[in-house]
A and B are shown apart, each in its own frame.
Chain A
Amino acid sequence: MLELSGIGKRFGGLTALEGISFRVAQGSITGIIGPNGAGKTTLFNIATGIYTPSSGQVLLQGKDISALPPERRARLGLVRTFQNIELFGKMTVLENVMVGLHTQSSSGFFSCAFRMPWQMNEEHRVREKAEEWLAFAGIAELESLQAGTLSFGKGRLLEIARAMALEPKLLLMDEPAAGLNSYETAQLAELIKRIRDHGVTVALVEHDMDLVMDICDALVVLNLGTMLAEGTPREIQDNQAVVTAYLGEA
């Protein structure tokens, strides 16, 4: 589904990433882990088009998307959630998800201003679909609340519902469990599995090892901007280099 090939990123004199190459298999839940500062968020930013890589390519289903801006990648099916949730705080919960359906609709300035019949139909359809996604994420009852007033855990779920509204092929989640308690994390795990069952490939950056080991089919380990290891959770747990990177020399 996703392939990163030889990705490198330099910020002035600082080399944040170098020689990152791996594949995310279709239909899998892949975890990207590593100590803080390993470059995981930078990698995500490159994958979603917020940064351009200094070297290497990003390929989505074999197609080179390295030069495409975020909005183009979204239309191709690559969607991402943020570590510090970036909700549209002043809009309602439902409206947030409706924005997610932007790519699934097409009315422009003219149709909207003049309330063309096809625009009104589309509006109706968008509203219904948004309500479906809220139910999918388990927060249907919050639909009229202002997004900025939600608790962190609920906000997280809203962000996921919004991302799913784009009907992504690949969902990149940046530390989805950050700031959640163990109950909320368990709910999140269930939701991610449901997302995978829905046919979406998931890649997540995470620190919560329990969550990662529980739901991931494959893991990629980064350290200090380079790749340390790649494999199934079992293999990674037994990998000496990984243990050393996280815990230091015994």
Chain B
Amino acid sequence: MEFFNEITQFVISGLATGAIYALIGLSFAIIFNSTGIINFAQGEFVMLGGVLTIFSLTALKLPILVAVLAAVAGTTLVGVVFERLAIRPLKDATPLALIIITIGASILIRGMVMLLWGKDTQVLPPFSGNTPLHLAGATLLPQHLWIFGVTLLVIVGSRLFFHHTINGKAMRACSFNRRAANLVGISVGRMVLLSFIISAALGSLAGVIIAPLTMTAYDVGIMLGLKGFCAAIMGGMGSGLGTVLGGLILGTLESLGAGLISSGYKDAIAFLILLLILFIRPQGLFKKGETDRV
């Protein structure tokens, strides 16, 4: 019974981190689908969410909800600046140039945060206190509920957005064929900007809701970003359920691996999974194969 409780514990905390990976994965997919770019700086948006919230709380003394909104808004602003200054000028760049630019930007953002707020880890208090709830023999923190709740809202929201609003459908059109989208009057430039706004907002939100559980520092973005990317790959870079499932599976496997095998190798597990997927099924676990025309 003890063992079963342990497993449930691992699974629940795994699902929580998995939900975060899912959110980050979605933001990767959104930018990729409208621009073809993998935004290596995505992890930094996540980091900014947590860091800016703490700043708003402690230095600006804003109430928690306003602080969160301020953080998300601030990160979105960074996303916009990034898109205008670094992505816009390079419309026809090679994949290599784009990768280098996004890596460079991520380093820049990280460096600035380090200079402004130092290298120490910072703590964000949980949204609804710390009294644990007991479910199926495992301990659930209120913050877990926040995570699941927000993730669910985001999934529903993104489904509604991408399939039932004009802007959302326009963005999907861009992902299928940029030139055709352009020809039917969709402003591709605006869609790209919109995708960066959404991704930055989503990323920072993910960073905020996980921060109370894992603490935050200037360099958490790297790992979170990479694992979110892993989730996106597992979902085949789609903006839907596949990525969410990918994230959840990744988080759970990682948590079980850390708990049952070794916690030092926790990150290695995620990357091993990433490598396996890339080698065996790069189109994702859930997508059917496609062919390209020469």
Contact = CB atoms under 8 A, between A and B. Distances in A.
Contacts of B294: 41, 45, 50-51
Interface string B283-294: 000000001001
A11 interface: yes
B174 to A, nearest CB: 23
Interface string B260-294: 00000000000000000000000000000001001
Grouping DSSP codes into helix (H, G, I), strand (E, B) and loop, the B interface class, with mixed when no group exceeds half, is loop
Contacts of B291: 11-12
Interface residues of A, number: 6
A105 to B, nearest CB: 27
Interface in B66-108: none
A249 B291 CA distance: 35
Interface string A1-33: 000000000011000000000000000000000
A84 B277 CA distance: 34
Interface string A41-75: 10001000011000000000000000000000000
Contacts of A12: 291
A17 to B, nearest CB: 14
Contacts of A45: 294
A61 B291 CA distance: 30
Nearest to A83: B294
Contacts of A51: 294
Nearest to A82: B294
Nearest to B291: A11
A249 B294 CA distance: 33
B97 to A, nearest CB: 15
Contacts of A50: 294
A12 B289 CA distance: 9
Nearest to A41: B294
A11 B294 CA distance: 13
A203 B193 CA distance: 49
B74 to A, nearest CB: 42
Nearest to A48: B294
Interface string A99-135: 0000000000000000000000000000000000000
Contacts of A11: 291
B222 to A, nearest CB: 33
B130 to A, nearest CB: 53
A41 B294 CA distance: 9
A217 to B, nearest CB: 28
A50 B294 CA distance: 8
Nearest to A11: B291
Nearest to B290: A12
A12 B288 CA distance: 11
B95 to A, nearest CB: 16
6 contacts: A11-B291, A12-B291, A41-B294, A45-B294, A50-B294, A51-B294
Interface of B: 291, 294
Pairs of residues from A and B, 4 with the lowest C-beta to C-beta distance, nearest first? A50-B294, A11-B291, A45-B294, A12-B291
